[in-house]
C-alpha cells in the first residue's frame, strides 16, 4: 500500500477542512480519469441511497458544505459505504424501535429526527485521514481483533474491528457490521471505499444506562459486579460523558490553537492544536459471574451485597491498615464494599491497545509490534479512596496483568526480561480477548473480565513498596486517555503537538494541573520520533512557568526517594521544585534543577560525576553510579532505548535522573509537585518525562543494590 500511495503522493494535497466555517472549494478537484470517492459511489446504483444522504448532511454545524463535497475534494478518507439494502434494513430497525411508522424517509414527520438519523449513517461511516497521505485503511491494515482504528470517524467515535477466527475472510466493524468480502479495498484518488452490508450505527449509551439495562435484564456475565456498582451509588458518576462547558467554549472559538510556536523554541510552522472535546471515561476490571458462583454466591441473590461483603472479610481482601465499616450504607466511601469495588475502577476509558504501551523499551522494536521483551507497566490512581493500581505486560506474561510482580534478569549484564513469577505474585490476567469483554458498547467505558480477584490487600501493598514505582507524567491525567491524546499512533501535526488550554486564560482542561498565566503547556506525542524518553513522548511548558500536579499515592508509610528524569538540551529552563502535602504552601525541595545540564559537556559531567560505563568492569561502573548518587543524580534507566533498540538509555549523556526528595511519605496523604521557572525568560521550557518513588529498602539496601533498569 505504501508504495502505491508513494506513487500518488504528488497528487495529494490534503486539506484539513473538518473544522472549517467556509464552504468547500471544489474548483481544485483532481483532473484525472480516476474516480473520487463521490464519483465512484455515484456510478454504482448499489450506493444511491447513501449518495442522497451524503448530499443532505452538512460536515458540521459550523459549515454549510455537505459531506458529498468533502468526498469530492482533496483529502484522504476511509469510507464504509452502506448499500441500499443496508440502509433499508436500518430503516426497518427504526420501525421496530417505534421511531418511524414505516421503513421510508417519507415516514419522518420531524425534520430534526430526519437530520439526526442521516448524520448517524454518514458521520459513523467516514474516517478523515487529514494531512497524511497514507492515513487510510486497507483491510490488511485494519486493527487486530477487538482493537480500535487509530483515527476517529467524523462523529469523533472510534470504530472497532472483529475478525472471527473460524472465518478468515470475514471482517466486522463494531462487532456486527460485516464488510463485503467482494467489494472492499476500492482505491480511488482521495481515499478508499469498503462496502458495508449493515449501517454502522453505534448506540450512544453511557456506562450508567448500559449497566442499569444489564441489571434490569438480569443479563449473565457481570451481573454481580454491576449490582454492586449500583448499590454503591456509582451510576451517577458513570453517566458522565463529556464536558458541555468545554464543548461550548471550543465550538464558539473561545478555545484556540496555540499559533506561532516557533517563538517558543518549537520547529518552524508547528502549531499546538487544542483538543476538540473534553470527554470523561472509565475502565472496570471485573470478576465474572462464574467466579462468584465458584465461591457459592449467586449473582441474582437478593442479599448479594451482604454475601460479597462477608466474602471480602473471610478472604482478607483488604489491608489491616484500612479503616472501614461493614454496614448496609454502601454509598459511603468508608464502607468496605465501596472501597473494594472502586479499587476495580479507573477514571479513564482504556481501550484494549492502550492497557500498557510498547514503544521503546529495551529489546523491543516497533517493526515487530507483537514481539514483546522486558516488562512494561503503568501505575494509575483508582477511583474512590486514592490507591495505587499497576498494569504490566512482558514477553513472558502472555497478557496484561494487574499487580503482577515478576522476577526479572536485572543484573548489569542481564536482559531485563521476566524469568519467573512466584505464585503469590502472578496477579490477575486482564482477559481482553474474552467474549465477555465489553469494549465498544458504551461511549465512556470499557469492562474487562479478570481471572483472579483483585483488592488492595497487604500482599499487594507490600509488593508495590518493594518495587520501584516509575510513572509516566501523562499517566497523571485521565483526560489524556479519555480524549485520545496520549501516544496516539499518528504523526500528523494535529496529533503531534497538543496544546492543553491554560487554566487561567481559558479552561482547566487537565483537572490535575494548575498553571500560571505566563506559560503554555504542550504535549509532544513523539510517535515515530526517536527520543530517549519513557514511551518517547514528553510534556512541555514554555514561558515563565509555574505548574503543579497531584501525584499518585505511595503504597506504604516509609522513607522514599522521589526522582525527576530529564532529557537535557539547551531549550530547557531552570526549575525550582516544591514538594509536599499542602498545595497552598509547598516547601522547597532542594536546589533548582538545571534542565539544560547535558553530560556531553565536560563541565556538567564533572559536576554530576558522570563517566561512561566501562565495558568490562562492573565494579567500577557501580562506583560511578554511587558517585553520581552522592551528588544527587543518577543515569537514565537501562530499560529505555533510543534508536529503535541500538543504544541503551543508561549511556545516553542527555538522560539524567535528579533526586530531589528523601523523606517519609504516608499513603493516606496526597502529595503535590510544583515546578517554577527561576529564569527571567519566556522562551525556556519546563520538561517532564517520568517521576519515580523508590522506597529506602530499594535504594539503600546493603545486600542487594538497586538495579540499573
Least confident of 125-139, 459-473, 581-595, 641-655: 641-655
Q: What is the pLDDT of residue 568?
A: 87
For residue 446, being part of any structural domain is answered with no
Query: Does 92 score more than 70 pLDDT?
Result: yes
- CATH code of residue 572: 2.60.120
Give the residues across from 513 on adjacent strands. 549
Domain enclosing residue 482, as ranges: 472-699
Query: Do 540 and 681 have their domain in common?
Result: yes
pLDDT of residue 327: 97
- pLDDT, residue 490, reads 85
Query: How do residues 338-347 score in pLDDT, each as one tens digit?
Result: 999 999 999 9
- Burial (CB count <10 Å: 0-12, 13-18, 19+), residue 44: middle
- Per-residue pLDDT, 271: 86
**381 found inside a domain:** no
481 within some domain: yes
Give domain status of residue 149, yes or no.
Answer: yes
Q: What is the DSSP string of 175-229?
A: TTEEBPSSS--EEETTEEEEEESS--------HHHHHHHHHHTT-SSSHHHHHHH
Residues 6+ apart with CB under 8 A from 628: 608, 609, 610, 634, 635
Q: Is pLDDT above 50 for 56? A: yes
pLDDT confidence band for 381 (50 / 70 / 90): very high
* C-beta separation of 304 from 207 below 8 A: no
Q: What is the DSSP letter of 264?
A: G
239 and 138 share one domain: no
Question: What average pLDDT does the segment 290-314 reach?
Answer: 98
| Owner of C-alpha cell 430497525 | 93
Shared-domain flag, residues 660 and 615: yes
214 and 190 belong to one structural domain? no
Domain termination site, one of 345, 375, 407: 345
DSSP code at position 612: P
d(CA 13, CA 189) in angstroms, rounded, equals 11
Region 488-506 average pLDDT: 83
Could you tell me if 558 and 518 lie in one domain?
A: yes
177 and 211, same domain (yes or no): no
Residue 263, pLDDT score: 53
The pLDDT of residue 542: 83
Among residues 395, 390, 396, the alpha carbon closest in space to that of 365 is found at: 395
Asked whether residue 24 carries a pLDDT value surpassing 70, the answer given is no
Q: Are 566 and 485 members of one domain?
A: yes
pLDDT of 23 above 70: no
Instruction: Say if residue 1's pLDDT is above 50.
Output: no
Domain assignment present for 238:
yes
Least confident of 220-234, 462-476, 506-520, 620-634: 506-520
Q: In this structure, are 174 and 228 located in the same domain?
A: no
Residue range 153-157: average pLDDT?
Answer: 92
* 477 and 275 Cβ atoms separated by less than 8 Å: no
Which region among 227-231, 247-251, 329-333 has the lowest average model confidence (pLDDT)?
247-251
Q: What is the mean pLDDT of residues 455-475?
A: 97
Answer with the residue of higher pLDDT: 266 or 593: 593
For residue 63, the model assigns a pLDDT of: 78
| Same domain flag for 487 and 592 | yes
**Total domains in the fold of the chain:** 3
491 and 637 part of one domain:
yes
Q: Is residue 107 situated within a structural domain?
A: yes
- Based on the fold, state whether residues 176 and 240 are members of the same structural domain: no
Give residue-wise pLDDT tens across range 526-581. Answer: 887 888 899 999 998 888 999 999 999 999 999 999 999 998 888 889 999 999 99
With respect to residue 139, please indicate whether it lies within any of the assigned structural domains. yes
Q: Which of 196, 215, 243 is the last residue of a domain?
A: 196
Q: How far apart are CA 310 and CA 313, in angstroms?
A: 5
Any idea what the CATH number is for the domain that residue 28 is in? 2.30.180.10
Mark which of 289, 322, 345 sits at the end of a domain. Answer: 345
Per residue, the 3-state secondary structure of 448-495, as one string, reads EEECCCCCCCHHHHHHHHCCCEEEEHHHHCHHHHHCCCCCCCCCCHHH
Residues 100 and 73 grouped into a single domain: yes
**Local confidence band at 268 (pLDDT 50, 70, 90 cut-offs):** low
Give residues with Cβ within 8 angstroms of 102, minimum separation 6. 95
Maximum Cα–Cα distance across the chain: 83
First-residue to last-residue Cα distance in the chain: 39
State the Cα–Cα distance between residues 639 and 657, nearest whole angstrom. 14
Q: How far is CA 22 from the centre of its chain?
A: 33
DSSP per residue over 337-384, as a string?
HHHHHHTTEESS---GGGSS--SSBTT--TTSTT---S-EEEEEEPSS
In a domain, 70, yes or no: yes
**Residue 186 confidence (pLDDT) above 80:** yes
Closest to 352 (Cα-Cα) out of 421, 265, 440: 440
Least confident of 54-58, 467-471, 653-657: 653-657
Amino acid at each position: 500500500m505504501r508504495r502505491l500511495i508513494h506513487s500518488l503522493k504528488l497528487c495529494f494535497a490534503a486539506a484539513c477542512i473538518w473544522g472549517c466555517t467556509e464552504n468547500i472549494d471544489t474548483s481544485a478537484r483532481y483532473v484525472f480519469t480516476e474516480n473520487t470517492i463521490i464519483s465512484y459511489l455515484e456510478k454504482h446504483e448499489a450506493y444511491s441511497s447513501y449518495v442522497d444522504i451524503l448530499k443532505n448532511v452538512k460536515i458540521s454545524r459550523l459549515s454549510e458544505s455537505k459531506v458529498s463535497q468533502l468526498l469530492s475534494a482533496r483529502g484522504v478518507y476511509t469510507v464504509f459505504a452502506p448499500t441500499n439494502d443496508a440502509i433499508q434494513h436500518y430503516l426497518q430497525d427504526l420501525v421496530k424501535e417505534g421511531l418511524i411508522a414505516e421503513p421510508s424517509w417519507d415516514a419522518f414527520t420531524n425534520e430534526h429526527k430526519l437530520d439526526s438519523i442521516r448524520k448517524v449513517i454518514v458521520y459513523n461511516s467516514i474516517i478523515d485521514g487529514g494531512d497524511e497521505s497514507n492515513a487510510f485503511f486497507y483491510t490488511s491494515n485494519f486493527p487486530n481483533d477487538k482493537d480500535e482504528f487509530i483515527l476517529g470517524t467524523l462523529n469523533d467515535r472510534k470504530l472497532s474491528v472483529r475478525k472471527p477466527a473460524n472465518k478468515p475472510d470475514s471482517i466486522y466493524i463494531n462487532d456486527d457490521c460485516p464488510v463485503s468480502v467482494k467489494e472492499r479495498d476500492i482505491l480511488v484518488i482521495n481515499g478508499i471505499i469498503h462496502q458495508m452490508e449493515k449501517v454502522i450505527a453505534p448506540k450512544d449509551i453511557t456506562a450508567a444506562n448500559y449497566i442499569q439495562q444489564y441489571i434490569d435484564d438480569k443479563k449473565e456475565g457481570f451481573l454481580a459486579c454491576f449490582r454492586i456498582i449500583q448499590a454503591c451509588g456509582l451510576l451517577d458518576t458513570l453517566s458522565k460523558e463529556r464536558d458541555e462547558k468545554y464543548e461550548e467554549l471550543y465550538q464558539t472559538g473561545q478555545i484556540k490553537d496555540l499559533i506561532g510556536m516557533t517563538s517558543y523554541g518549537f520547529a518552524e510552522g508547528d502549531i499546538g492544536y487544542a483538543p476538540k472535546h473534553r470527554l470523561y471515561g472509565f475502565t472496570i476490571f471485573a470478576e465474572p459471574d462464574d467466579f462468584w458462583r465458584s465461591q457459592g454466591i449467586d449473582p441474582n441473590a437478593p442479599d448479594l451485597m451482604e454475601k460479597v461483603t462477608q466474602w471480602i472479610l473471610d478472604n482478607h481482601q483488604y489491608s489491616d491498615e484500612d479503616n472501614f465499616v461493614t454496614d448496609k450504607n454502601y454509598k459511603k466511601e468508608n464502607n468496605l464494599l465501596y472501597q473494594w469495588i472502586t479499587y476495580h475502577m479507573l477514571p479513564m476509558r482504556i481501550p484494549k491497545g492502550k492497557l500498557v504501551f510498547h514503544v521503546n523499551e529495551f529489546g523491543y522494536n516497533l517493526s515487530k509490534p507483537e514481539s514483546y521483551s522486558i516488562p512494561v507497566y503503568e501505575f494509575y490512581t483508582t477511583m474512590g479512596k486514592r490507591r495505587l493500581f499497576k498494569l504490566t505486560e512482558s514477553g513472558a506474561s502472555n497478557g496484561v496483568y494487574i499487580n503482577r510482580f515478576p522476577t526479572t534478569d536485572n543484573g548489569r549484564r542481564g536482559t531485563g526480561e521476566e524469568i519467573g513469577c512466584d505464585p503469590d505474585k502472578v496477579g490477575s490476567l486482564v482477559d481482553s480477548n474474552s467474549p465477555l469483554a465489553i469494549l465498544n458498547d458504551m461511549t465512556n467505558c470499557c469492562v474487562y473480565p479478570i481471572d483472579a480477584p483483585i483488592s488492595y490487600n497487604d500482599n499487594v501493598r507490600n509488593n508495590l513498596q518493594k518495587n520501584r514505582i516509575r510513572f509516566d507524567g501523562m499517566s497523571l491525567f485521565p483526560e489524556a486517555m479519555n480524549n485520545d491524546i496520549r501516544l496516539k499512533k499518528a504523526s500528523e501535526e494535529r496529533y503531534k503537538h497538543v496544546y492543553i488550554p491554560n487554566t487561567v486564560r481559558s479552561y482547566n482542561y487537565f483537572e490535575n494541573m494548575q498553571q500560571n498565566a505566563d506559560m503554555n503547556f504542550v504535549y509532544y506525542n513523539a510517535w515515530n520520533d526517536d527520543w530517549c524518553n519513557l514511551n518517547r513522548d514528553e510534556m512541555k511548558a514554555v514561558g515563565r512557568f509555574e505548574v503543579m500536579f497531584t501525584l499518585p499515592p505511595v503504597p506504604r508509610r516509609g522513607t522514599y526517594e522521589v526522582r525527576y528524569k530529564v532529557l537535557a538540551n539547551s531549550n530547557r529552563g531552570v526549575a525550582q521544585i516544591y514538594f509536599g502535602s499542602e498545595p497552598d504552601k509547598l516547601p522547597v525541595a532542594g536546589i533548582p534543577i538545571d534542565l539544560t545540564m547535558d553530560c556531553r559537556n565536560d563541565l556538567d559531567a564533572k559536576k554530576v560525576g558522570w563517566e561512561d560505563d566501562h565495558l568490562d568492569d562492573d565494579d567500577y561502573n557501580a562506583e560511578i553510579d554511587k558517585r553520581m548518587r552522592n551528588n544527587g543524580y543518577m543515569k537514565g534507566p537501562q530499560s529505555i532505548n533510543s534508536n529503535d533498540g541500538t543504544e541503551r538509555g543508561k549511556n545516553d549523556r542527555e538522560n539524567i535522573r535528579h533526586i530531589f526528595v528523601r523523606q517519609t511519605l504516608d499513603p493516606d496523604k496526597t502529595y503535590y509537585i510544583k515546578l517554577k521557572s527561576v529564569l527571567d525568560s519566556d522562551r525556556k521550557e519546563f520538561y517532564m518525562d517520568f517521576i519515580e518513588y523508590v522506597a529506602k529498602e530499594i535504594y539503600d539496601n546493603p545486600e542487594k543494590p538497586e538495579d540499573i533498569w
